[in-house]
Amino acid sequence: MNTPFHLQKLEYREVDLELTKPLVTSSARYETRSLLLVRAQIRAGEHLVEGFGEVSPLPGWSDETLANCIETLDAAPTDVEFDAVRALDEVLPTVAELPSLRFGVELALLDALARLRETPICRLLASERGRMPLASVSVQATIGAKGPDETVAAARAAADEGFNCVKLKVGALPIATDIARIARVREACPTLMIRLDANGAWTPQQAREVLEGLWKLNIDIVEQPVAPEHFDTFVDEADALTAACIAPDESCVPAAHAHELIDAGKIGAVVLKPQALGGLLPTSTLIDDALRKGVRVVLSTLLESAVGRSAVAHLAAAYPDVLGPHGLATGGWFASDLAEAPDSILDGSLRLRHGSGLGFEPDWRSA
Ligand SMILES: O=C(O)CCC(=O)c1ccccc1C(=O)O
Ligand SMILES: [Mg+2]
């Protein structure tokens, strides 16, 4: 990835994509997804290539807004030299300060560079570590905060489609309802891997009660049971086997805190969202850290379009030693998207698109 190149142009378009139904979590409700589709044009020797990226901070998830990103991008210099994509932090420091903007611009550069090399992004990333990429990655079915009957129906449908893991959103409904939902899914699907994501909604006391009642149901991971301000103490006070099932998600932002949590050796798993962590490369540093510490990694999206989802899928594919399943089965939430064909998920595995870079070119004109 140490090919020097010249960034000639960095353009963007604002895109609003409609969701099939509002996404409801314990903390927010989203009806459409607003993002910037970024296009970078790079020159290396006599070769001119383009690459695409997506900037999509999720309102309520971080302080950065699309307006901040636009303002910063408008003011950023182009016509700049890079000796490698990693030089982004020095070459465009204002861009690097906003995680989603850094993610989108870095992705456009990686996509362009991979196209220049005529190789998929996953291969570019894997070859840095002397690995071959995976052709498909294991993914979980993410199920929203629906009532017990609907939750069971969604979990059954996922299991019938071949998913071996579901993640239930919890914390938005009364605790007794959540417990009933989880117990009913376990009863209906005895061999399914079940994960939970509370998005920080429970108080430490509530989380303790729920977690105590859950061990019989064989829950794999509980994402962010309590809010970030309580998370570190909560983990410190949890017994070792409970802590092994707890994974920070919101608590992984900023990335420096994710490094701290991984290095402290107190959690069994970590959820990493490259969109919130500043890009694929900063996330890969965190994955390397987690692998060294024996912490399981789940890669996840922040409700991105096909561009952002593909980027995360390429990162997952670049790490054959990271099993997931990853939080990448969210393409179905979009009524319209930036790729022509939907994500190919069969038997709980997402197949990477063949071709250079991301494996497809979003339609710039109609975006
Ligand atoms: O991780 C997944 O399974 C899918 C993505 C997901 O759950 C999510 C999507 C948008 C915003 C927040 C979250 C989350 O993990 O909390
Ligand atoms: Mg989460």
Which residue lies with its CA nearest to atom 4 of ligand 1? 327
Mean pLDDT of the chain: 95
Question: Which residues are documented as binding site?
Answer: 197, 223, 249
How far is residue 314's CA from residue 357's CA, in Å, rounded to a whole number? Answer: 9
pLDDT band with cut points at 50, 70 and 90 for residue 24: low
**Pocket probe mutation, ligand 1, options 21, 25, 32, 304, max atoms within 8 Å of Cβ:** 25
* Domains annotated on the chain, with CATH: 5-118 (3.30.390.10), 128-351 (3.20.20.120)
The residues carrying an active-site annotation are 169, 273
275 close to ligand 1 (CB < 6 Angstrom): no
Q: What is the mean pLDDT of residues 230-253?
A: 95
Dihedral of the CA atoms 213, 214, 215, 220 (nearest 10)?
A: -160
Distance from Cα 269 to the centre of ligand 1, integer Å: 15
Structure tokens at 162: 């071949």
**DSSP codes joined into one string, 91-137:** HSHHHHHSHHHHHHHHHHHHHHHHHHTTSBHHHHHHHHTT-PPPSEE
What percent of the chain stands above pLDDT 90?
89
What percent of the chain stands above pLDDT 70?
98
Determine phi and psi for 31, rounding to 5 degrees. Answer: -105, -35
Nearest to 36 by CA among 57, 63, 7: 57
Which residue lies with its CA nearest to atom 1 of ligand 1? 327
Distance from Cα 276 to the centre of ligand 1, integer Å: 12
pLDDT band with cut points at 50, 70 and 90 for residue 341: very high
pLDDT of residue 360: 97
pLDDT of residue 47: 95
Which residues pair with residue 7 across a beta bridge? 42, 80
Distance from Cα 64 to the centre of ligand 2, integer Å: 18
Closest approach atom of ligand 1 to CA 197: 16
Whether 27 has a pLDDT exceeding 70, the answer reads: no
Nearest to 33 by CA among 309, 350, 281: 309
In the chain, where do the E strands start and end? 5-24, 29-44, 47-55, 80-82, 136-138, 141-143, 165-169, 193-197, 219-223, 246-247, 269-272, 296-299, 344-346, 349-351
Q: What is the mean pLDDT of residues 17-43?
A: 87
Distance from Cα 45 to the centre of ligand 1, integer Å: 41
56 close to ligand 1 (CB < 6 Angstrom): no
**Pocket probe mutation, ligand 1, options 17, 194, 301, max atoms within 8 Å of Cβ:** 301
Which residues pair with residue 299 across a beta bridge? 272
Only one residue has tokens 């001119």, namely: 48
ipTM of the complex in this document: 0.98
pLDDT of residue 315: 98
Nearest to 201 by CA among 250, 161, 152: 250
